[in-house]
Amino acid sequence: MKTFDIPVFYKSPVISRIKNLRRADDPRKRDYSPTELNFGPVIFYVARHFGFCYGVENAIEISYRAIEENPGKRIFLLSEMIHNSEVNRDLQNRGVKFIMDTNGNRYVEWEELKKDDIVIIPAFGTTVEIEEKLAGLGIDTLKYNTTCPFVEKVWNRADSLGKTDFTIIVHGKFRHEETRATFSHAKESAPTLIVRDLEEANILGKFMLGEIPIGEFQKTFEHRISTDFDPLIHLDRIGVVNQTTMLATETQAIADHLKNVMVQKFGENSIKDHFADTRDTLCYATHDNQRATYALLEKDADLALVVGGYNSSNTSHIVELCEEKLPTFFISSSEKILSKYLISHFHIHSNKEIVTEDFLPTINPVRIILTSGASCPDSIVDDVLRKYCRILT
């Protein structure tokens, strides 16, 4: 796989070295068991796969190259390049300005942009409408386009499905930048609908089987269907693609459920005429991170530390997996470790940061699971590990 030129300050003397050793020993990733680091009073179980993925490293390399190649020019990012506050802050400190926030609210109006401005497309990609807006302003959207290749793979698959008259079902969070972009590209070639989770897929299945009045469809999926979407016509041939940072197991569960609905409606013998196999759109990095998390959870640990940006979708799913088994603390950096007894962490269910006291068990050794999201630099995970070692050893 290609290697990228990313700033050295995103790497680390401990975590990056562990990754390199595991990669050399097991290049095909047959072994997802964690690395054990025994410091006496504290034992860390470090995930086999976590941190910067191919798409993130590609985006970072392109973004820093844009800064280097364009001294004196105004440089803009459409929105956060990736969901990590440290990375985005460093780019801003180097003069890069954001055009909008992650929800699409603009800081810079389109008419303020000039033809010779540099605009970087983030790793999530962007909508067809924004691409056309920038092109109309004379701005080159290709030179510094950091859209993840695996996101583009989803777009291409959706396009091929649309050309064969399949409707696209997108598993994703409809306010997330990547899902907005995928929806925009998919609806260019096919009727498109977004489902958030298996519960919504179950509701969709009931519409398809006539168990819920079709008159309720528009209200249920408002703002998540393409223009002129007709459930009486467009739900007879479907394919499922996903926001690449969603749980791979949930995407597969949604696809399996909707396939079973099609079998009930049209019969097993004609299923290929009504349901497209789209397993090839699952992102390898999301899949690897989640498999590595399952392997982590086989360890007899006392708590889990998950490091990453609080608005990172893939990180929040790792948190959800860990929460099913043991106390889990989602932190953005080592600064959130306030003392041996206090930690400030993000509670994904209330969507706010909280402080927990006496979170460390009074045992020796303390066994801690350690992992991070795909947009978190190794250096930040390294800082977390080192801080706990200072506190506990």
Q: What is the pLDDT of residues 25-63, one digit of tens each?
A: 999 889 999 999 999 999 999 999 999 999 999 999 999
Task: For residue 250, indicate whether it is catalytic.
Answer: no
pLDDT at 283: 78
Give the CATH number for residue 87.
3.40.50.11270
Residues 43 and 63 in one domain: no
Residues 272 and 327 in one domain: no
Does the pLDDT of residue 221 top 90, yes or no? yes
Listed in order, strand segments (DSSP E) in 100-196 are: 118-120, 167-171, 192-195
Is 324 domain-assigned? yes
Q: What is the pLDDT of residues 293-329, one digit of tens each?
A: 999 999 999 999 999 999 998 899 999 999 999 999 9
Domain boundary among 108, 136, 164: 136
Residues 79 and 170 in one domain: no
Is 157 domain-assigned? yes
Average pLDDT for 333-345: 95
Of 57, 131, 177, 178, which residue is the catalytic one?
Answer: 178
Average pLDDT for 86-98: 94
Residues 261 and 332 in one domain: no
Is 154 domain-assigned? yes
Q: Indicate the pTM of the whole model.
A: 0.90
Q: In total, how many domains does the chain have?
A: 3
Average pLDDT for 339-347: 95
Residues 122 and 78 in one domain: yes
pLDDT at 1: 62
Are 121 and 28 in contact by the 8 Å Cβ rule? The answer is no
Q: What is the pLDDT of residues 228-254, one digit of tens each?
A: 999 999 999 999 999 998 888 899 999
Is 241 domain-assigned? yes
Is 243 domain-assigned? yes
Three-state secondary-structure class, residue 77: strand
Is 2 domain-assigned? no
pLDDT over 90, % of the chain: 85
Residues of the domain holding 303:
8-53+285-392
Residues 70 and 29 in one domain: no
Give the CATH number for residue 31.
3.40.1010.20
Domain boundary among 224, 247, 280: 280
Helices assigned H by DSSP within 164-280: 177-186, 198-208, 217-220, 231-234, 248-266
Give the CA dihedral 214, 219, 222, 224, nearest 10 degrees: -40
Average pLDDT for 84-88: 89
Residues 296 and 384 in one domain: yes
Pick from 183, 366, 170: nearest CA to 254: 170
Residues 108 and 79 in one domain: yes
Is 198 domain-assigned? yes
Residues 169 and 275 in one domain: yes
Is 141 domain-assigned? no
Average pLDDT for 82-95: 91
Residues 264 and 304 in one domain: no
Domain boundary among 280, 307, 322: 280
Are 184 and 224 in contact by the 8 Å Cβ rule? The answer is no
pLDDT at 280: 66
Q: At what angle do helices 248-266 and 284-296 cross, to 10 degrees?
A: 110
Residues 290 and 263 in one domain: no
Q: What tokens appear for 147 in the block? A: 């859209």
Residues 161 and 241 in one domain: yes
